[in-house]
Amino acid sequence: MRTFKVEPLDTQAMETCRFRIDNLTKPIYSLATLETIAERFAGILRDPKPNHLRQGVLVVAADHLVDGPQNDQHGSESYAAIKRFNEGTTATQGAAAKLNATVHVVNIGLEQDTSDLANIEQQVIRKGSHFFGVEPVISRDELDRALELGFTYADKLHADGLQVVAIGNIGERAFLDSLVTTATITGCAYNDILVHNEWGPTVDERAAHIHSFVDPFKIAVDDWSAISESERRDAVLHLLHIAGGLDIAFLTAFILGAASHRMAVVFDNIVTGAAVLAAVTIEPLVKDYVFPSAAYDEPIHDEPIHKEQCRFLGVKPYLDYKLLIDEALGSTMGLSVINASMYMLNDMKTFVEAEVSAAEDGAGKGRQKNKE
C-alpha cells in the first residue's frame, strides 16, 4: 500500500468558524448538528467560512462470494443495477443532479461483463471475490491493485477540484464480508450483529459456522489499541485480503487518499461503513474527514451491522427515510445536509450584521456580541 499522510483539522479555522456560528441570530447551539458539520468543514478546508462546496459521488461495483453456495443470481442483479447507472436513470443520479454533483461509477469486480456499458468506468481486477470458506476473498496482488486504484481515484477527484465525495457500492452478497470486517475491527461478537429468523439455523449456529470458516485465517486482533501503527495497518490489510473483498479494499484506500487531500467523504451502508472502519483503524485521524448520512434499517439483517459501525465511530445518521436502495443514494442525500450547514454559516446573519441585540441574560451571554 502506498504511503500517505493525513493531517489534523485546522483548529484556528474551526475556532473562528465556531465564533461566527455562536453569533448567528439564533439561540446559541440551537442548530446542533448543522453547526458541528460547518465547524468541521472549516477545519478540513482550512477556511473559517467555507461555502459552495464542490461535490461528487463515487460508486464502486463488485460482487462477493461468486464461488459460494449462495450465488444463485450470478451477477444478474448487479448487472441490472449498473445498467441503470449507465442509462442515467437511478435515484442516486437524480439526487446528484440537483446538487450539481458529478457521478463516477467504476466496475472493479462484477461477475458479469460490463464492457458494453459505455458510461461505466471499466477497471476490472477480477470478476467477483471468492467465498472465504474456500480461500481468501482476494489474492494479495488483487488487494494491492484494489488499494492502488482507490488511491488513484482519490487523486483524480481531488485534481478535479472536489471537496466532498459521497461513496456507495453496487454488488451482490456483500453482507458476509461486511459483517466479518465490522466484527473484527469493532470487537463485537458475530452473534450480536446477526438477526434471528424463523427458518434455518439459529444465530449461535450461524455464528459458529462463520467462525469455522474465518478462524483458520487468524484475522482476530485481541486489542487494536495495544499494537503499533504498522501492526494495525498490516492487520487491516490481512483482514481485507481474507474477508474484505475488492470494493471494501478500494473504498478503504479511497477514504485514506481523500483525507490525505483534505477531501471529506460521506458514507451510508454496511459496505461503505466497513471501509470507513478499516480506514480509521489504519489512520485514526481519518475519522475527522468522514460523515454519516442515512440510516439503513432494511433489509433487516443489515441493521445491526450498520448500527454497530455507527456506534464504534461515535456517529448517528442524519437522515432516516426507511430507504431500501443504497447505491450511494443515502450518502448523496447526506450531501444535502452538508449543504444546509453551509447555508446556515453563510446566509444567516450575525447579531452585528443584522444590527439586532443578543439577549443579555441568555444562554449565549459572554459569547454572543452586539454591535458596539
Instruction: Give the pLDDT score at 4.
Output: 96
Tens digits of per-residue pLDDT, 42-55? 999 999 999 999 99
pLDDT in tens, 181-226: 999 999 999 999 998 877 778 999 999 999 999 999 999 999 999 9
pLDDT, tens only, 301-340: 568 999 999 999 999 999 998 888 889 999 999 999 999 9
Largest CA distance in the chain: 73
Write out pLDDT tens, residues 54-74: 999 999 999 999 988 888 889
Q: What is the 3-state secondary structure (H, E, C) of 157-191?
A: HHHCCCCEEEEEEECCCCHHHHHHHHHHHHCCCHH
- 297 is written with which cell numbers? 434499517
In the numeric block, the cell 450575525 is attached to 350
3-state DSSP: the chain helix, strand, coil percent, rounded to 5? 50, 10, 40
Q: Is 340 a domain residue?
A: no
| Residue 301 lies inside a defined structural domain of this protein | yes
Identity (one letter) of the amino acid at 235? A
- What pLDDT sits at residue 362? 58
pLDDT for the residue numbered 372: 56
Cell of 344: 446556515
Q: Closest Cα partner for 193 from 268, 132, 273, 93?
A: 273
* Domain tally, the chain: 1
| 116: its cell numbers | 458494453
Q: What is the pLDDT of residue 296?
A: 81
Length of the chain: 372
Residue 79 has pLDDT above 70, yes or no: yes
Average pLDDT over residues 120-134: 93
Asked whether residue 72 is domain-assigned, the answer is: yes
Q: What is the pLDDT of residue 363?
A: 61
- Considering the domain boundaries, does residue 64 fall inside one? yes
Residue 7 lies in a domain: no
CA-based nearest residue to 341, from 4, 90, 84, 18: 18
Point out which residues pair with 102 in neighbouring strands: 56
Quote the percentage of the chain above a pLDDT of 70: 95
pLDDT value at residue 371: 62
Tell me how far apart the alpha carbons of residues 357 and 368 are, in angstroms, rounded to a whole number.
Answer: 9
Q: At residue 343, does pLDDT exceed 60?
A: yes
Encode pLDDT of 215-268 as tens digits.
Answer: 999 999 999 999 999 999 999 999 999 999 999 999 999 999 999 999 999 999
Is residue 299 very low, low, confident or very high in pLDDT (cuts 50, 70, 90)?
Answer: low
Q: 261 lies in which domain range? A: 54-335
Q: At residue 29, what is the residue type?
A: Y
The rounded distance, in Å, linking the Cα atoms of 31 and 162 is 26
Q: Does residue 300 fall inside a structural domain?
A: yes
Please report whether residue 317 resides in a domain. Answer: yes
H/E segment holding residue 122: strand 121-122
Question: What pLDDT score does 325 carry?
Answer: 86
The 10 Å Cβ neighbour count of residue 16 is: 16
* Cβ neighbours of 260 (radius 10 Å): 22
CATH number at residue 103: 3.40.50.10210
| pLDDT of 348 strictly over 80 | yes
269 inside domain: yes
d(CA 122, CA 113): 10
Supply the DSSP symbol for 360: T
Q: Rounded to the nearest 10 degrees, how much is the dihedral formed by the CA atoms of 118, 122, 127, 129?
A: -130
Please tell me whether residue 21 adopts helix, strand or coil conformation.
helix
Average per-residue pLDDT in the chain? 93
User: What grid cell was written down for 311?
Assistant: 456506534
Residues with Cβ within 8 Å of residue 336, at least 6 apart in sequence: 95, 99
Query: Which residues make Cβ contacts (< 8 Å) with residue 361, sequence separation at least 6?
Result: none
